[in-house]
Amino acid sequence: DAGVIQSPRHEVTEMGQEVTLRCKPISGHNSLFWYRQTMMRGLELLIYFNNNVPIDDSGMPEDRFSAKMPNASFSTLKIQPSEPRDSAVYFCASRRDRAVYGYTFGSGTRLTVV
């Protein structure tokens, strides 16, 4: 089991540029979550998918953020245009429904917008 795989690990971009973060969940896990972590706000849920369908995107900060899950093995989080305040670590996590355990997190993408 390769775990949840995220790419890139680090991303530095200039303000105004488009940023795309990628995630491959654990095979067989049908729920996928995108979180953002900052020192000030901790771990915040941005959006989650169940069986590839977006269920709750109430945590997406604004229209500049969008997420897709075209199939069970791939999801993207896009920021366009990026701003310095988007700088954070973005985590993807997955879970199998009705599992009694919590999520498994990916290694995260550290985004810096300059």
Nearer to other proteins, 39 or 71 (CB): 39
63-47-41 Cα angle (round to 5): 85
Q: How far is the CB of 19 from other proteins (least distance, A)?
A: 19
Q: How far is the CB of 102 from other proteins (least distance, A)?
A: 4
Q: How far is the CB of 78 from other proteins (least distance, A)?
A: 21
Rounded to whole angstroms, the Cα distance separating 24 from 43 reads: 20
Distance of CA 64 to the CA centre of its chain: 14
Q: Position of tokens 């795309």? A: 20
Q: How far is the CB of 16 from other proteins (least distance, A)?
A: 28
Q: List residues near other proteins by CB under 8 A.
A: 31, 33, 41-43, 45, 48, 50, 55-56, 91, 95, 97, 100-108
Using DSSP bridges, classify how beta strands 10-13 and 109-113 pair: parallel, antiparallel or unpaired: parallel
Nearer to other proteins, 52 or 81 (CB): 52
Nearer to other proteins, 65 or 103 (CB): 103
Dihedral angle, C-alpha 106, 47, 80, 22, nearest 10 °: 30
Q: Give the gyration radius of the chain's Cα atoms.
A: 13
